[in-house]
Structure 1
Amino acid sequence: MKAWIGRILWKPRIRLRQAGRFAPLGALLLLAGCANLEYYAQSVAGHSALLQAARPLDQVLADPSSTDDLRTRLRYARSARRYASEVLGLPDNGSYTEYADVERPYVVWNVFATPELSLRLKPSCFLVVGCIDYRGYYREEAARAQARDLREQGWDVHVGGVPAYSTLGWYRDPLVNTFIRLPPGEVARLVFHELTHQAVYAKNDTAFNESLATAVEQLGVERWLREPENAALRPAYEIYAQRRADFLALLRDTRRQLLEAYGEAGTRAKPAPATPLPEELDPAEIARLRERKAAIIAGLRQRYEALKRDQWGGYGGYDGWFAQPLNNAHFAAIGTYQQWVPALLALARQCGSCRDGSLGPFLAQARELARLPHAERQRRLRELDQRAQGPRL
C-alpha cells in the first residue's frame, strides 16, 4: 500500500521545488480510514497533478507557444492578484502567481445531495477541513458515479463543475485554464473569492465560508474595476454581472418558495439529514409536496424564458443550466454560496475604514465571527441579516 501511495506522490517528473508540497497530502492519505481511502487517494492524485502542471507566470508569458490572448488574460489576472494583496488586504503569498493547463473544462466536480423534500444538504466530513456540504472529485466520471449511487438511494443530487478552488493556503494554488478564459473581471472575482478562504475559514460552516468569499469578491471587483487601467473592462463586465445577478435572483426566489413549501423558511439549522425521505411524512403529504415542488420548478423555467425575452434580448448563456433536470440539490447549493451575503455586506458597510479600498478591517471582523461557536455566529449573522438591505433567502 505504501509503495502505491509513493507512486502517486513521488513521480519522477515532479520538480524538486514542488516535492515538499506533497508530504502533508501523503500524511492525510495515511491517516484516512478505509471507507474514505479511495476518496482521499483521488484527492491526492488530482491535486498533485494540478501542482505539477503549474508554471510561473513569467515563464508562461515568455513562452513562444503562448497565444496573445492568453498573455493578455494572464496580465489582467496578475494585476488582480497584486491588487488583492496590496489594496484589498488579502493574503500575500504564492497563490495565483502560476498558471496550469489541466486540459479539461473544470478543475473539480462537486456533488451536492439533499433529501427529496428538504433543502438541507447532506454533509461530508474530512480530516483537517471538517464537515462541508459537498464532495469534490477531480474526475467527472467519479463524481457522476457517486451521484448515481446517491440517486439510487433516493437523494436529490446535483453535480456542478467548479473552475477554481482553494487549499486554504496550504499550497500555491495556481491560475487554471478552467477559468482564465472568462472575462477578466470574472477572473478577478474568482481570485478574490479563493484568497478569502485563505484569510478566513470557519470549520464545519460551509455557508459562512462561501457567503463571506462571495461578499468579498463582490466588493473586490467593484474596487478593482474603478482602477483607471481597468476602465475598458467595465462596460462588458457590468452586462455580464447584471445577467448573473438576474439569474441568481431567480434561483434565490425559487429557493425561498421551496423552503416555504417544506416548512423550513426562517427555521434554525436542523440536524444533518439521515435519510432521503423523512419517515414521519404520510403518503398524502408526500404527494402534495412533490406536486408543489414540481410546480415551483416549472414556474422558474417560465420566468427564465420571460427574462431572456424581455430583458436579455434573447441571450441564452444559462440555457445549459436549465437543460438539466432540476431538483432540491441545485437550490441548496445556491444557498450555500448566497445565504449570508446580505448580512456580510451589511457588516462591510459598517466598516468606515474600508472606504480607502482595503477590506482588512472587514476581514478582521469576519475573522472574529469565524472564531465564535457556531450557534453564536448564526445568531450574529441573523441580526445582521435583519438589518441588511437586499434579497432575502
Structure 2
Amino acid sequence: MASALAGCTSVSYYAQSIQGHVEIMAARRNVGGLIRDPSMPKALRAKLTSAASIRRFATDELALPNNSSYRSYVDIGRDDVTYAVFAAPQFSLAPVTWCFPVFGCVPYRGYFSRKAAIENAAELQGKGLDVYISGVTAYSTLGWFSDPLLSTMLRQDDTYIASLIFHELAHQKIYVNNDSAFNEAFAVSVETSGVRKWLRATGNRAGLRRYETNRKRSADFLGLIAKTRDELRRVYGSPRPPEKMAAAKAAAIDRLRVRYRQMRDENWAGYRGYDAWFAAPINNAKLAATAVYGEQVPAFLRLFDLCGGDYPRFYAAVRRIGALPAPSRAQALKAATCDSLPQARQIASQAGP
C-alpha cells in the first residue's frame, strides 16, 4: 500500500502513517461495554458516558453522520495522537502544502511520532523554511474508518469533548479537497454552533457563559494574528533587501507580543491561557497554521444564521459553495444566502476556472 502511494511523498512517511493508524484501530474497545465494565475507573466511566450522550446529540440534533465513529475508545498513552508539521517560506505567509490520496493537498504533514516530526521540521529548516510543530488531540479519516474516541480527547471537560466530536464529524459530513481553510473553518462553525446548542439543551448556563467568554478571547486572539499578518504582507510585498525585510518581520512579531500583553491585561482580566503560544517562537509557519483554522469562521457562522440554524439547509448551502471553483469560494461564502447563490455565481464567473 505504501509503495502504491509513494507518488506523492516518501514510502517511509506513509509507512509510519499506516502503522500508527492501524495500531490505534486495533486497540479500539466498545464504549458501551466499557461503561458497563465494573472494573472501569469511575472518572473514565463518567467521561465515556458523557461522550456517548454527546455522540447521540451530534446525530439527532446536528444532523451529523450516524455511523460507528466515536463509539469506541482507545487509551493511546501520550498527550497527543499526532504531531502536525507546518512550513512556510521565510518571507511569505503562504504555507507549504503536501498532497495525499483521498485527503488532497493540505498545509501540514502529520506524524504519529514526535521524534519523526522534529526530524522533518529540522530538514525543512535546513532548506530555509520557517517551521512550526503542533500537537494534535484528534483526527478524522473522513468516514473511511470508524474513528475512535481517544484518551487525548477526554483530558478536559465535557464541553471540550463535545467540541472535538462535533468538529471531527463535520469533516465526515463535508470535505472539499485541496482547501484546508474552507474545511477547517466549516468544522469550527459546526463545532461552535453545536456546542452552543448542546449547552442550552443540557441547561448548562454557566458552561455556556464560560464557552462564550472563551470564544470571545479566541476571536480577540485571531484579530491580533490577522493584524500582524496584514503588516507582514506589506513587508513581504515591499522591495526591501533581505536583511531589512528580516528586521521588519522581527519588529512586526515584537509588536504582536506587545499588543497581546496589553489586551490580556486590559481586556482579559489577566487570563493567561495564550501565554505559552506567545512565549514560544513565532514565525510565518505558525501564523499560517493559526489562520487556517480561523479566518473564514465568521462567514460560516453568518451563513448558519441565515439558514435559521437549520443544519440540513446549512450543509446544503455549504456544499453548493464548496462546488465552486477554488479562487471564488471564500468570496462566495461571504456573499451567499442560504438557499441560493446568485452573487456567488457571478463571483465564480469573474474569477474563472
TM-score (norm 2): 0.88
The percentage of counterpart residues that share the same residue type is 42
Corresponding residue number in structure 2 for 1:313? 269
How many residue pairs get aligned? The number is: 337
Secondary structure of 1:331's counterpart equals helix
Instruction: Please point out which of 182, 190, 202 is paired with 1:228.
Output: 202
Question: 1:254-277, CA deviations, whole angstroms, 9 ceiling, x for partnerless residues?
Answer: 2233233334xxxxxxxxxxxxxx
Distance 1:186 1:257 in 2: 33
Give 2:296's aligned residue.
Answer: 340
Letter in 2 for 1:171: F
1:361 matched to 2:313:
yes
Aligned with 2:34 (options 60, 69, 76): 60
1:1-393 alignment runs, 5 A limit: 27=1, 29-33=2-6, 35-231=9-205, 233-263=207-237, 284-352=240-308, 354=309, 358-381=310-333, 383-384=335-336
CA distance in 2, matches of 1:350, 1:229: 25
List gaps (5 residues or longer) in structure 1: 1-26, 264-280, 388-393
Cα distance in structure 1, aligned partners of 2:232 and 2:37:
51
- CA separation of 1:376 and 1:250: change in aligned 2, threshold 3 A: closer
- What's the offset of the Cα at 1:375? 2.9
CA 1:59–1:384: 2 relative to 1, 3 Å = same
Matching residue of 2:350: none
Higher relative contact order (CA 8 A, sep 6+): 1
Q: For 1:315, what is the secondary structure of its paired residue?
A: coil
Judging changes above 3 Å, is the alpha-carbon distance between structure 1 residues 365 and 317 closer, same or farther for their aligned structure 2 residues?
same
Task: Give the secondary structure class of the aligned counterpart of 1:191.
Answer: helix
Partners of 1:88 and 1:318 in 2: how far apart?
30
The one-letter code sitting in structure 2 at the alignment partner of 1:31 is: A
Amino acid at match of 1:348: F
Whole-angstrom distance in 2 between the partners of 1:373 and 1:240? 34
Answer whether contact 1:90 1:360 (CA < 8 A) is retained. no
Q: Deviations over 1:176-212 (max 9, x none)?
A: 1112122211221111111111011111111111111
Distance across 1 between alignment mates of 2:221 and 2:290: 11
Equivalent residues of 1:344, 1:384 under 8 A apart:
no
Post-superposition shift, 1:351?
A: 0.9
When residues 316 and 64 of structure 1 are mapped into structure 2, their CA distance, relative to the original with a 3 A threshold, is: farther
One-letter code aligned to 1:95: S
Deviation of 1:232 (Å)? 5.2
Give, in angstroms, the shift of residue 64 of structure 1: 4.0
Contact kept, 8 Å, 1:212 with 1:344, in 2: the verdict is: yes
| CA shift in 2, pair 1:185/1:155, >3 Å | same
Deviation of residue 345 (structure 1)? 2.0
Distance 1:51 1:293 in 2: 44
Which stretch has the larger CA shift, 192-201 or 242-251? 242-251
* C-alpha distance in 2 between matches for 1:316 and 1:379: 35
Q: For 1:241 and 1:378, locate their aligned partners in 2 and report how far apart those are by CA, in whole Å.
A: 22
Distance 1:293 1:67 in 2: 51
Amino acid at match of 1:286: P
Distance of aligned partners of 1:239 and 1:378 in 2 relative to their CA distance in 1, 3 Å threshold: closer
Gaps of 5+ in 2: 338-342, 344-353
- What amino acid maps onto 1:366 in structure 2? V
Q: Deviations over 1:97-151 (max 9, x none)?
A: 1111101111111011001111101010112222111100011111110000001
Q: TM-score, normalised by structure 1?
A: 0.80
Residue 382 (structure 1) shift: 5.2
Which residue of structure 2 lines up, in the alignment, with residue 20 of structure 1?
none
In structure 1, how many angstroms separate the alpha carbons of the residues matched to 2:330 and 2:222? 23
CA distance in 1, matches of 2:218, 2:264: 12
Shift of 1:300: 1.6
**Aligned residue for 2:340?**
none
SS in 2 for 1:73: helix
Q: Is the alpha carbon distance of 1:241 and 1:376 closer, same or farther for their aligned partners in structure 2, counting shifts above 3 Å?
A: closer
